[in-house]
Amino acid sequence: MSGRHRLRALGALVVLNGLIPIRTQPFYVVYLLASPLSFLFFISVLSSGAFVPFGVTGGLILTMLSAGTGLQSDMTHYRQDLKFQDIVVASPVEAPTYVTGMALSELVYSTPGLGVFAVIFVVTGLANLQSIAVLVGVLLLVWAFASALAFTLATYLRDVRETFMFSPLISLGLSVLPPVYYPIDRLPHWAQTAALFSPTTYAAQLVQGSVGLYSLSFGHALLDWGALIAITAALFLVAAFKARWKEP
């Protein structure tokens, strides 16, 4: 496919999987808001408001992660139940174009969540040039690694039912156990070490650092960026070499 053809394919996938479903089911627009808003609610109540900024930065990251969860179940459903992946494989559309198009379409559903949290982010006084730049960069990386991971998993799962089992496990591993919603020093020592394996730990530290919730030295921030980029790259490599575009 030439560049222009790829753009058409991307556009078609975004409309197909992102915009058109809303016509028949408007609730798609708000479902991704549910979890991050309930976390924010719990955290605000339990900390008497003290941890609201953590709930906001965590909510932004979780909203992006949820785009990956949505991608994983959509792709599994399309592959297994509709044979849509087979249709796409036997066409000029290459795997990276398909995944990118589908991942972009999931962003449509993240937009309301990102919007709501962005407003709270500004209202609670967390926004400045630096924190916005860090936030945008971090969220793009979270979207990228979550999508690569989702694609790889979706090509292995045998049934959509399996996504119901995997998605909560992945959310647990990526958003609840790692310090996305609280400062890392709240965790016992062993858990801090374990958290280093999760890319969301670095994502959260960078965002928390940029809004002053966490004191982050320049060197530490560089390390965090390096780790986040390295894990994203590793998940891209896994997707490129291990995802089953063609079935074995």
Partner 1 sequence: MASAVVAQDLFKVYPGSHSRTPALDGLSLTVPTGGVYGLIGRNGAGKTTFVRIAATQLALTSGSLSVLGHDVAREERKIRERIACVPQESRPLYFLTVEEVVYYYLKMRGLPSVEARRRTREGLEELSLGEYRRRLVSQLSGGLRRRAMCAMVLASDAEMLFLDEPTTGLDPIARREVWAAIRRASREQRTILLTTHYLDEAEALSQRLVLIERGRRILEGTPGELRGRVRYPYRVALQEGVAPEELEPYGRVATVEGGQTLVFAREREARELARWALERNLRVSMGPVSLEDIFLDVVGRSIDEDTPAEDAEPGHDEAKA
Residues that bind partner 1 (CB under 8 A): 1-2, 4-6, 8-9, 11-13, 15-17, 20-21, 23-25, 78, 81-84, 86-94, 246-248
What is the C-alpha separation between 6 and 124, in angstroms, rounded?
A: 41
Question: Which residues 6+ apart lie within 8 Å of 47 measured at CB?
Answer: none
Q: Indicate the residue among 61 and 93 with the shorter CB distance to partner 1.
A: 93
What is the C-alpha separation between 23 and 25, in angstroms, rounded?
A: 6
Question: Which residues 6+ apart lie within 8 Å of 210 measured at CB?
Answer: 130, 131, 134, 135, 216
For residue 235, give the nearest of 29, 80, 68 by alpha carbon: 68
What is the C-alpha separation between 76 and 81, in angstroms, rounded?
A: 8
Nearest approach, Cβ of residue 17 and partner 1 (Å): 8
Q: Indicate the residue among 158 and 189 with the shorter CB distance to partner 1.
A: 158
Q: What is the CA radius of gyration of the chain?
A: 18
What is the C-alpha separation between 7 and 9, in angstroms, rounded?
A: 5
Nearest approach, Cβ of residue 114 and partner 1 (Å): 23
Q: Indicate the residue among 186 and 244 with the shorter CB distance to partner 1.
A: 244
Q: Which conformational region is residue 187 in: left (phi greater than 0), alpha (psi within -120 to 50 degrees), or beta?
A: beta
Q: Indicate the residue among 90 and 129 with the shorter CB distance to partner 1.
A: 90
Nearest approach, Cβ of residue 158 and partner 1 (Å): 11
**Cα dihedral angle (88, 90, 96, 97), rounded to 10 degrees?**
-50
What is the C-alpha separation between 242 and 223, in angstroms, rounded?
A: 27
Nearest approach, Cβ of residue 34 and partner 1 (Å): 21
Q: Indicate the residue among 131 and 163 with the shorter CB distance to partner 1.
A: 163
Q: Indicate the residue among 38 and 91 with the shorter CB distance to partner 1.
A: 91
Nearest approach, Cβ of residue 90 and partner 1 (Å): 4
Nearest approach, Cβ of residue 97 and partner 1 (Å): 9
